[in-house]
């Protein structure tokens, strides 16, 4: 296959890391990515290692950093795949995506990988989220094509599964109903997990049957205990011809649940109604540990989506993309195209600071020092402090008190990159998972083929 030969050829190369006053570092290159430079001094944001994931699917992989520093990855794949432990199971006849869950050491060495073959020939398979709970167990959510792991079948359709630290399937459940349901993100909550997404039709979330009006998409959040049983769920619907989608979720040390996404029309999360005339407007909200509304707000005047949310000491950080204009602490933020933004709120939802810039903002994480790590892509006009870098991927570390750039690392590529998720370990290393569109997609029987990658950067 042309795309696969292209990827394998690139992976045989090595690159020389170059930056402002940095020493040289050599590492294997992720498919099509080359380091472009950094706005920081020696050592900050330097690439520690990369891992290619030649997936071929139209979705980018998810990653999460475990408490011990290990890196978990979950993704769908449509081509034969070997992550270093031997070829993973693959059905050459099926057109459905396969599923891989893998664990790497902090140094990038593969510990284990499980490849799951689809049981049905459907394009609906999807990885919606990945999390590690306080006990080190792995939670995986998404849409199953009848996958089987350890001789146990994941129910076809929406699912949530709990795996052991070694990847053995321990718990699995589905959400019965009709219509489409998409899991968009997971977050650990003690020994359990919280998941968010959107749906239409009717769904039984375990404590109640939720219904979305005909032709509409509604947002949902479900809190599960360690056994996968529902603690509580909530669903939100917009007015006529509206929509609500929950794209990201995180949980603070006190059990407060923070959700970010977008809505159109009018929606009430439990406080004053939010109303927009835009096709979709970013929002964020907080729920108590019991699922009661604490506060909610939107970025009125902006058209776009809040893609990521993270929490630090008395801080809530929201990142997303927008066009139009919104005001934050009385300051206007304007974009004619899809620019990125990062906004900081305090624990009560009050405005602290915001930055907008000529790049997308798709992934966000905090560390024990409260610093932010942000990832996205840009078209060459990056104004986060990375200088005149060519178009590609960026990773930036920001100060939590004002959003100032501490360092920025940029990567070039011959095709459009996507940063899907970012995680930070206890030592401050950032791990980014994403994908690059195939330069030569011809000959593939599936749409929009991409090749995935992992990056690990030094603090």
Cβ atoms within 10 Å of 421's Cβ, excluding its own: 26
Please determine, for residue 143, whether its predicted confidence score (pLDDT) is greater than 80: yes
**From CA 143, how far away is CA 154, in angstroms rounded?**
9
Q: Which residue has the higher pLDDT, 43 or 235?
A: 235
Q: Are strands 372-378 and 26-28 parallel, antiparallel or unpaired?
A: unpaired
Token representation of residue 443: 């000959």
Lowest mean pLDDT among 192-206, 244-258, 434-448: 434-448
pLDDT value at residue 105? 97
> Domain for residue 5, yes or no?
yes
SS3 393: strand
> Domain for residue 169, yes or no?
no
pLDDT band at 31 (very low <50, low <70, confident <90, very high): low
> Domain for residue 71, yes or no?
no
Q: Which residue has the higher pLDDT, 57 or 21?
A: 57
> Domain for residue 308, yes or no?
no
Output the pTM of the full model: 0.91
Mean pLDDT calculated for residue range 97-105: 96
The sign of the dihedral angle between the CA atoms of 362, 365, 370, 371 is: negative
Structural domain span for residue 45: 1-56+369-382+394-459
> Domain for residue 39, yes or no?
yes
Q: Hey, what long-range contacts does 169-174 have (CB within 8 A, 24 or more apart)?
A: 170/137, 171/227, 171/228, 172/228, 173/228, 174/144
Number of domains making up the chain: 1
Mean pLDDT calculated for residue range 100-129: 91
> Domain for residue 351, yes or no?
no
Residues 6+ apart with CB under 8 A from 92: none
With beta carbons less than 8 A apart as the criterion, state whether 425 and 56 touch.
Answer: no
Q: What is the pLDDT of residues 312-347, one digit of tens each?
A: 989 999 999 999 999 999 999 999 888 999 999 999
Average pLDDT over the chain reads 88
> Domain for residue 427, yes or no?
yes
> Domain for residue 230, yes or no?
no
């Amino acid at each position: 296959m042309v795309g696969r030969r292209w990827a394998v050829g690139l992976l045989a190369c090595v690159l020389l890391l170059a930056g402002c006053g940095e020493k040289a570092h050599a590492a294997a290159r992720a498919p099509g990515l080359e380091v472009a430079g950094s706005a920081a001094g020696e050592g900050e944001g330097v690439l520690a290692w990369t891992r290619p994931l030649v997936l071929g699917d139209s979705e980018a992989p998810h990653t999460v950093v475990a408490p011990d520093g290990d890196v978990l990855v979950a993704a769908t794949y449509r081509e034969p795949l070997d992550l270093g432990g031997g070829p993973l199971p693959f059905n050459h006849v099926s057109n459905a995506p396969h599923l891989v869950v893998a664990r790497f050491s902090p140094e990038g060495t593969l510990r284990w990988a499980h490849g799951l073959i689809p049981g049905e020939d459907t394009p609906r398979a999807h990885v919606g989220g990945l999390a590690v709970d306080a006990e080190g167990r792995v939670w995986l959510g998404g849409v199953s094509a009848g996958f089987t792991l350890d001789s146990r079948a994941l129910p076809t359709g929406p699912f949530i599964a709990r795996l052991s630290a070694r990847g053995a399937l321990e718990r699995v459940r589905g959400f019965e109903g009709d219509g489409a349901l998409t899991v968009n993100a997971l977050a650990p909550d003690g020994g359990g997990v919280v998941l968010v997404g959107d749906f239409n039709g009717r769904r039984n979330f375990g404590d109640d049957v939720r219904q979305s009006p005909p032709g509409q998409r509604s947002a949902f959040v479900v809190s599960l205990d360690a056994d996968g049983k529902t603690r509580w769920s909530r669903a939100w619907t917009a007015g006529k011809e509206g929509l609500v989608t929950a794209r990201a979720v995180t949980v603070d040390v006190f059990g407060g649940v923070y959700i970010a996404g977008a809505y159109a029309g009018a929606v009430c999360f439990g406080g004053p109604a939010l109303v927009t005339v835009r096709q979709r407007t970013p929002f964020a909200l907080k729920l108590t540990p019991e699922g009661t509304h604490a506060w909610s707000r939107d970025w009125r005047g902006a058209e776009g989506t809040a893609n990521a949310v993270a929490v630090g000491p008395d801080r809530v950080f929201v990142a997303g993309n927008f066009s139009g204009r919104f005001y934050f602490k009385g300051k206007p933020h304007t974009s004619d195209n899809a620019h990125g933004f990062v906004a900081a709120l305090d624990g009560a939802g009050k405005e602290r600071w915001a930055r907008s810039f000529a790049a997308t903002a798709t992934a966000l994480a905090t560390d024990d020092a409260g610093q932010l790590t942000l990832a996205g892509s840009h078209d060459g006009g990056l104004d986060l402090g990375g200088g005149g870098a060519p178009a590609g991927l960026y990773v930036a570390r920001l100060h939590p008190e004002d959003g100032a750039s501490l360092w920025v690392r940029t990567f070039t590529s011959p095709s459009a990159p996507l940063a899907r998720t970012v995680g930070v370990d206890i030592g401050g290393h950032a791990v980014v998972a994403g994908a690059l569109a195939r330069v030569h997609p011809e000959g593939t029987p599936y749409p929009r083929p991409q090749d995935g990658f992992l990056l690990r950067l030094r603090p």
